[in-house]
């Protein structure tokens, strides 16, 4: 009887060991092919941000969770889809018919290092006065951070406002930018002009 018990015990231990190894070899459900959130391998094309991600980041940046931020972002997503980057920064502007705008921020992309970006440019329109504001810019079709360092003219008729938050579109070099500004900082978006994005600050905006 003792010998039989020893044999049965040995078989049980062996079976348990094999099952344990099989369990360890089985991939985690989230890593299997076809999982809801598969692992992403960085490639030549940048991974886009979802609308939920952008709303959360913009709300944190502006310090606001109002529907105005979500409403503007929803509008941009309907027009342009998912961005592959965004710039979070601050800017100052002033105008007496002819305006000037200067800003600085960080360009963020998934699986890429953040890049410091400066921008400056003139505008012509009905705007008068000066202001400082925060700017959250969605960047479309960008795959490499170096693509941002170009001049981007404004797109006519692109101004959109919700609850004191405004956005307008800029396009150039195959990219589309959607700067989102709050309060009085949004007013100069109605002007005609361009912004030059650069590695360093340029005093002359032309």
Q: For position 133, what pLDDT does the model report?
A: 81
| 3, burial (CB in 10 Å: exposed 0-12, middle 13-18, buried 19+) | exposed
Alpha-carbon distance of 67 to 106, in angstroms, equals 25
Distances (CA, A) of 161 to 38, 74, 122, 183, 206: 37, 12, 22, 10, 28
- 18-25 LR contacts (CB < 8 Å, sep 24+): none
pLDDT tens over the chain, length 206 residues? 444 443 334 434 444 443 343 333 333 333 333 333 344 445 578 999 999 999 999 999 988 656 789 999 999 999 999 999 999 999 887 656 567 889 999 999 999 999 999 999 886 655 555 667 889 999 999 999 999 999 999 886 677 777 778 888 999 999 999 999 886 555 544 455 789 999 998 877 66
Q: Are 34 and 27 in contact (CB under 8 A)?
A: no
3-state secondary structure of 118: strand
* The pLDDT of residue 205: 63
What backbone torsions phi and psi does residue 61 show, to the nearest 5 degrees?
A: -65, -45
Query: How much is the pLDDT for 162?
Result: 77
């Amino acid at each position: 009887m003792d010998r039989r018990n020893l044999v049965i015990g040995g078989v049980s231990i062996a079976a348990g060991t094999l099952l344990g190894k099989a369990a360890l070899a089985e991939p985690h459900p989230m890593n299997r092919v076809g999982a809801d959130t598969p692992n992403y391998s960085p490639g030549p094309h940048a991974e886009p941000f979802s609308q939920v991600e952008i709303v959360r980041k913009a709300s944190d940046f502006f310090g606001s969770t109002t529907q105005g931020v979500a409403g503007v972002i929803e509008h941009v997503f309907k027009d342009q889809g998912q961005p592959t980057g965004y710039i979070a920064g601050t800017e100052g502007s002033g105008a007496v018919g002819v305006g000037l705008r200067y800003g600085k921020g960080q360009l963020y992309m998934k699986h890429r290092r953040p890049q410091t970006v400066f921008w400056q440019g003139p505008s012509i329109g009905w705007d008068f006065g000066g202001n400082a504001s925060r700017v959250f810019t969605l960047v479309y079709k960008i795959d490499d951070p170096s693509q941002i360092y170009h001049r981007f003219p404004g797109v006519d008729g692109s101004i959109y406002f919700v609850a004191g938050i405004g956005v307008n579109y800029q396009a150039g070099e195959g990219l589309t930018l959607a700067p989102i500004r709050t309060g009085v900082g949004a007013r100069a978006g109605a002007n005609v002009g361009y912004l030059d994005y650069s590695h360093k600050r340029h005093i002359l905006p032309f």
